[in-house]
Structure 1
Amino acid sequence: MFQPSYSPADRWDSAMENRAEPPKKERQLGLLQDDRHDSGLDSMKEEEYERLVKELTDIRLQPPEERGAPHQPAEPWQQQVTEDGDTFLHLAIIHEEKAWSVEVIRQATANPTFLNFQNNLNQTPLHLAVITDQAEIAEILLKAGCDPEIRDFRGNTPLHIACEQGSVRAVSILTQYCQQHHLDSVLRSPNYNGHTCLHLASIHGYLAIVEYLLSLGADVNAQEPCNGRTALHLAVDLQNSELVSLLVKHGADVNKVTYQGYSPYQLTWGRDSFSIQEQLKHLTTADLQMLPESEDEESCESESEFTEDEIMYDDCVIGGRQLAF
């Protein structure tokens, strides 16, 4: 039987006393708080919280060697979920109960289905460990066999989230403790907004993460599927001169055009940063330095021979009868 060094009841009674206090640290929980209004201690009704405490305290976890064959059916506590689709492991991670999280992971190592279980927002425990900035728990989950390629409701893998939040430690752990084929797939994959991990790190200006992803083999010229912008186009849009330099240094194609035909240099027109324009000008071919003709200009050149007042209509109908001209 698992015997923690503290009393579970005392631990959870202490959590009960502190549930009305402000968070112990500022956390980047956009994906958890903005979209999960029903998550967290303060959002739970008193009776629901007390029931959760009792259920967690009553769990009797047995050492793996006492549980029999590794492929036996999941234990009852592994099959319990809340109305939000959260398992005990989801809840332990959300509430940052490290000791409980570690022990539950240890006991569920032979059950990958439980470790990769997705709640109603398609978040696995690994997603939540990254969102709550618990890199150590993320490492334990990966070593236990969690799948780093699973996507949440926004199409984000845990690595997408780590890059968006700028968590260098989480990015490092997620890339070190997963198999190479998983890493290659995650680096290539865009989320449902069309952004790869490199795009997200570039958008938020996390230069160290951008350089690290490129060193791992991220495609510096990957294009957003919606409009064809590369990380270099995004850097110009954001007027981030350091990011432009970094991407060019790592082989970004300055002559890559968006689906509308714009090169990164052409996007510098009308923007404030003269240094970015100078960086890209001598690298860009002459035909991609001038802005392409607009559709308005083309439409003016092909203007109809009739003026608006002279256009003849032959389909006017009044009272069910077509007018004759």
Structure 2
Amino acid sequence: MSEEWGSKKLGLPEDGRYDSGLAESVQSLQEESVLTFHVAPEERSPKSDSASRPLYGDQFCEVPDPERIDSSYESVSLTESLPQTCLPPSGAPGTGSQDSEQPDSLMYLSEDGDTLLHLSVIHSIPQLSLYLISLVPKDVLDIQNDLYQSALHLAVYLAQVEVVEALLQKDINMELQDRKGDTALHLACEKEHLDCAKILLRGPRGPQNLQLQNWKGLSCLHVATLKRNPALVSLLLESGADINSQEGTSGKTPLHLAVEMLDRSLLLHLLQHRPTVDAFMYNGCTPLHLAVGRKDAGLARLLCQAGADILQRNREGTPQKTWQRATTSSLPFSPLMI
């Protein structure tokens, strides 16, 4: 973030903060807060009380005092509490007509690095979010707050499909990563927001780099696999994700992850996409080694039927020898399964 943006602040009540963290923001917004919009001192009317009547465009908004607005996601919608003058004017872009006015207050940042667009997304005011998106340039839409979240991160996290679509139409950067290294598509997979994922994958320039990993070494496909969501897995694979991609910590492919979770249906789903059945982890283990190590004859049999090599060695030997040492039951392998 440039020094210019870092030096700008959006005036907020001293007794309230806006924390736009993904998990943290939901918790913080359960507390009472007031959303206010301010402009530079020289732009205020000499006769107005700027402490209680923040400016939105060329209109003032009366804010209840001392009562505070409850902006919790799960209780009262902020749009029901704010006066109509705080919402986009009827002639605003995104509301059916045109408005060329661009309030200077749109260019301020909060103490947490949030733009007004961040705040409108957090408070679930899509009409205001669409209005702001229509006004500000792309570089403003790409601003990340102190938690490295862009407006797109927040809109995806909160499943605000209209806002996600509007942001992508402005050709924003879809590969921005938050403090955990997650892109917006990572969040769509983590929260299992299939509609948002579809929009992100058909972006104006196509999908993002699907090999991009977060700070845990997980690509979007790894996240979708760990969520055991076959629809997301198929969507990512059809969009170009590599089914044999290795996560960054131990080299597991999605096939390894499915075996590790002992998920038979997910394993079958992945096998339909023809992965490399004998893919190696960094320690030399194949998915069959993991299945045998967990004494799961059913998963081992499925892998053998898909062509897994029972004589492939790792540090502990072949899957066949490992099974013989681990159990006295009949071996689940036969020449007919290979």
Q: Provide the TM-score with structure 1 as the length reference.
A: 0.70
Note if 1:121 corresponds to 2:147: yes
Aligned partner of 1:232 in structure 2 is 255
**1:32 paired residue number:** 22
- How far did residue 292 of structure 1 move? 2.2
Counterpart position of 1:286 = 310
Please list the CA deviations of residues 82-116 of structure 1 after superposition, one character each: whole Å capped at 9, or x if unmatched: 111111100000000111111111111xx111111
Q: Percent identity?
A: 30
**Cα offsets for 1:39-75 (capped at 9, x unmatched):** 426263xxxx16459787523489788759xxxxx96
The alpha-carbon deviation at position 287 of structure 1 amounts to 2.4
| 2:116 aligned residue | 88
State the alpha-carbon separation in 2 of the partners of residues 166 and 213 from structure 1.
12
Map of 2:298 onto structure 1: 275
Is the 8 Å Cα contact of residues 31 and 131 (structure 1) preserved in structure 2? no
Is contact 2:152–2:184 with CA below 8 Å preserved after alignment? yes
**Counterpart among 248, 259, 263 of residue 282 in structure 2:** 259
Matched, 1:213 2:236: yes
Do 1:93 and 1:128's aligned partners in 2 also have CA atoms closer than 8 Å? yes
- List per-residue Cα deviations over 1:105-161 (Å, max 9, x = no partner): 1111xx111111100111011100001111111011111222111111111110010
How many residues in Structure 1 have an aligned counterpart in Structure 2? Answer: 250
Q: 1:104 to 1:56 in 2, by over 3 A?
A: farther
**Counterpart for residue 59 of structure 1:** 57
Change in CA separation of 1:38 and 1:114 when aligned onto 2, cut-off 3 Å: farther
2:271 maps to 248
Secondary structure of residue in 2 paired with 1:269? helix
- 2:140 is matched by which residue type in structure 1? F
Q: How does 1:5-44 map to 2 (within 5 A)?
A: 32-33=22-23, 35-36=24-25, 39-40=28-29, 42=31, 44=33
Quote the offset at 1:270 in angstroms: 4.1
- 1:24 matched to which residue of 2? none
Given the alignment, which residue of 134, 153, 178 partners 2:179?
A: 153
Match of 2:127 among 91, 99, 102: 99
Instruction: Report the structure number with the largest CA radius of gyration.
Output: 1
Equivalent-residue separation in structure 2 for 1:84 and 1:97 (angstroms): 19
Q: Name the residue aligned to 1:137.
A: 163
Deviation digits for residues 165-217 of structure 1 (CA, Å, limit 9, x no counterpart): 1111111111123312xx251x1111111000000000010110101111111
CA distance in 2: counterparts of 1:119 and 1:43, whole angstroms = 21
Deviations 1:21-46 (A, max 9, x none): xxxxxxxxx9612x4477426263xx
Distance in 1 separating the partners of 2:155 and 2:35:
24
For the structure 1 residues 201 and 38, does the alpha-carbon distance in structure 2 shift closer, same or farther, using more than 3 Å as the test?
A: closer
Q: Which amino acid aligns with 1:176?
A: R
Contact between 2:201 and 2:208, CA under 8 Å: does it hold in 1?
Answer: no
CA contact (8 A) 1:281 1:289 kept: no
Name stretches of at least 5 consecutive residues in structure 2 with no aligned partner.
1-19, 39-51, 59-88, 319-338
1:293 Cα deviation after fit: 4.6
The structure-2 alpha-carbon separation of the partners of 1:107 and 1:281, relative to structure 1 and needing over 3 Å to count, comes to same
Contact 1:37 1:43 survives alignment (8 Å): no
- Gap runs ≥5 in structure 1: 1-29, 69-73, 295-325
User: Given the two structures, how large is their TM-score scaled by the length of structure 2?
Assistant: 0.67
Tell me the distance in 2 between the aligned counterparts of 1:280 and 1:154: 34
List, as ranges, runs of 4+ consecutive aligned residues in structure 1 with deviation greater than 6 Å. Answer: 53-56, 61-66
The more displaced of 168-177 and 35-44 is 35-44
Task: Give distance in 2, aligned partners of 1:192 and 1:215.
Answer: 25
User: Could you tell me how far apart the structure 1 residues matched to 2:221 and 2:303 are?
Assistant: 20
Q: Post-superposition shift, 1:273?
A: 4.0
Higher-helix-fraction structure:
1
**Distance of 1:103 and 1:51 partners within structure 2:** 17
The two structures, once aligned, show a CA RMSD in angstroms of 2.8
Q: More displaced, 251-260 or 277-286? A: 277-286
